[in-house]
Structure 1
Amino acid sequence: MFKIAITPEIPDERKEPGMIRCLLEGGWDRVHLRHPGASRREMRNLIEAIPQELHSRLVLHGHFDLVNDFNLGGLHLNRRCPTPPANYRGALSRSCHTIGEVKENSGSDYVTLSPIFDSISKSGY
């Protein structure tokens, strides 16, 4: 089984790097850095606070240009960031919200399907 953790929407600069490190050292395969409101600088600071040997297991949900500065594990496409940068050749994952979207995106390395259960952030979704 491929284990993926997704960070909460709002970053916690003090606790998050350590939590990500614990997840990856504890056997999780990837941690998706999902902070839609974070600045490029905040994302850079977060990545830099995580040991470099774990960077290849981090996946960005935004600020895709940072992939050029770090050896990251991939990019995650979603409605906010639907296409990778030109000439990007690394791993791609994608958010899907229907089985039809899953089928349409069979070229991705993997997809996420949500919500499966009632959503706190998207009531009635």
Structure 2
Amino acid sequence: MKLVIITQPQFFIEEDRIITALFDEGLDSLHLYKPGSSPLYFERLLTLIPEDYHSNIVIHEHFYMKQEFDLAGIHLDDPDADVPQGYRGKVSRSCTDLSKLKDTKKKSQYVFLHDIFDRQQNGSSESGFSESKIHEASRQGLIDKHVYAFGGMNADNIRWAHDAGFGGVVLCSDIWNRFDVHSQVDYNDVIQHFQRLRKLAR
């Protein structure tokens, strides 16, 4: 099962080093998501990440950078959005509605199915879908290797996602909450936690 990490919405000093270290540890894909940020900052971050890893990075805006930096593809956060005119390459999309999942898959390399779990609050998480709905969607072939679970994913539910038939999980707060962008420079906790997640995803 693939592990995908989506970036923090803000840029920070150690970000390129952490991303590079995560790729060194076997990260499958990074989604570069910085809504509303200047393309200049995107370009700076990408130039600091080794070129060998650019083919594993997907960008959510400033789509011209896909070709400029030879990135893996682009991601459309709206499942109904059209591919930019003239674009040729891989496209992934987000989806929040199981009834739209089949059509979204047809026009995507893979799909992030959002709200599998809500954001963690007070050490617990609440499912955005009932477990029976997820397993029924899997039985019907809606959930397969082209659908990645997104929303509250962590070490406690990776195996659940695997058993439910998802092809990957999208990690965000479970990774980035282990590093304080304002005060830390040591990111060993992030890397060690990712190593644990890799073992769970096998």
TM bin (shorter chain)? 0.7 to 0.9
Residue in 1 that maps onto 2:192: none
Offset of residue 88 of structure 1:
1.8
Residue in 1 that maps onto 2:27: 28
User: Pairwise mapping of residues 1-125 of structure 1 onto structure 2 (< 5 A)?
Assistant: 1-12=1-12, 14-79=13-78, 82-107=81-106, 108-119=108-119
- The CA distance in 1 between the partners of 2:31 and 2:46, in whole Å, is 11
Which amino acid in 2 is paired with 1:41? L
Which amino acid in 2 is paired with 1:112? F
Q: Residue by residue, what CA displacement relative to the aligned partner does 1:50-94 show, whole Å, maximum 9, x if unpaired?
A: 011110000001111111211101100113x93332222211110
* SS of residue matched to 2:102: helix
Q: Residue by residue, what CA displacement relative to the aligned partner does 1:9-58 show, whole Å, maximum 9, x if unpaired?
A: 1121x111111111211111110001002111111111111011110000
Does the CA contact (< 8 Å) of 1:55 and 1:70 recur in 2? yes
- The CA distance in 2 between the partners of 1:105 and 1:20, in whole Å, is 29
Q: Which has the higher contact order (CA 8 A, sep 6+)?
A: 2
Offset of residue 3 of structure 1:
1.5
Which amino acid in 2 is paired with 1:31? L
Displacement over 3 Å in runs of 4+: none
- The CA distance in 1 between the partners of 2:14 and 2:59, in whole Å, is 19
Residue in 1 that maps onto 2:134: none
CA distance 1:28–1:37, change in 2 (3 Å) = same
* SS of residue matched to 2:5: strand
- The CA distance in 1 between the partners of 2:46 and 2:101, in whole Å, is 29
* SS of residue matched to 1:111: strand
